[in-house]
Amino acid sequence: MEVVVVRSGERGSGNAKMFGSLLRFYRERAEISQEALSKHLGFSKSQVAMVERGERPPKGSFVSVADEVLGAQGALLAAAKELRVSHLPSWFAEYKDEEATAVAVHWYENHVIPGLLQTEAYARAVFNCHCPPLDDEDVEARVATRLGRQQLLHRRKPAPVVSFVREQIALTRPLGGRPVLKEQLHHVLDIACLRNVEIQVMPPERQTHAGLNGPMALLETTERRPLGYIEGQSGGFFVTEQPELGDLFARYGILRAQALSPTPRN
């Protein structure tokens, strides 16, 4: 039976979820509702719920007050010292790990410049468009992660084969303002000069288009294992089995044929 391996849209690192489970255990043992606890803490009920799900780190006096109110006797304080919260959704964290060691990456994007090509200012503008809004700490953490991923483009042993197809609209949409877009376009031109990178543009006047189902990223791992990755509104998933995987690679090949040819390097 053919299988598509799916990663859910859950968020939060493992020990953040563990801390959240511990918080929920002491809250339920004390027979205190999330709403009642939120009044003691001075946070909203939804913030308490997000901490319990491992989606948001406890801030300010959250841990010390919760430990006292719930009678945890220092257990929450001790657990909080080991707390490490990822600012990435768990499903994307898995993709990031695969991408970092890939020998080949092929990416089709339609609305924005692909993340591996983004400047710091442009990436920050993209995350500032997030709905619901991200807090400043989350935005800066995601920007740093995105910039860190770009080391892949400059890796030399082995140098990955990287290609991009993106829609022309992404080159004209002034996210962050005209100066940010201008800097971004210059950066794309610089990256296009790398020997291991090909960047193509899909012209808007095409009457047929193989990528109408949306963005996708295709990877080839160090073991030469192909992977497909698709991200949607509420999560992302890997495609690892045939025939779906073969369909994605075939679709990307057609996209490259439909796009404008890369500009010859000097």
3-class secondary structure per residue, 33-64: CHHHHHHHHCCCHHHHHHHHCCCCCCCCCHHH
Contacts of 156 (CB under 8 A, 6+ apart): none
Assigned CATH topology for domain 14-81:
434 Repressor (Amino-terminal Domain) (1.10.260)
Higher-confidence position of 85 and 18:
18
Contacts of 73 (CB under 8 A, 6+ apart): 67
Flag whether pLDDT at 22 surpasses 50: yes
Of the pLDDT bands very low, low, confident and very high (cuts 50, 70, 90), residue 3 is very low
Of the pLDDT bands very low, low, confident and very high (cuts 50, 70, 90), residue 82 is confident
CB 93 within 8 A of CB 145: no
Q: pTM here?
A: 0.72
Assigned CATH topology for domain 90-258:
Endonuclease; Chain A (3.30.870)
Of the pLDDT bands very low, low, confident and very high (cuts 50, 70, 90), residue 7 is very low
Higher-confidence position of 6 and 71:
71
Mean pLDDT of 157-175: 96
Structure confidence by residue, pLDDT tens digits, 198-228: 999 999 999 999 999 999 999 999 999 999 9
Going from N- to C-terminal start, the domains of the chain cover 14-81, 90-258
Closest CA to 54 of 101, 18, 108: 18
Of the pLDDT bands very low, low, confident and very high (cuts 50, 70, 90), residue 10 is very low
Angle between helices 14-29 and 62-69 in degrees, nearest 10: 30
Flag whether pLDDT at 2 surpasses 70: no
Residue written as token pair 């849209």: 9
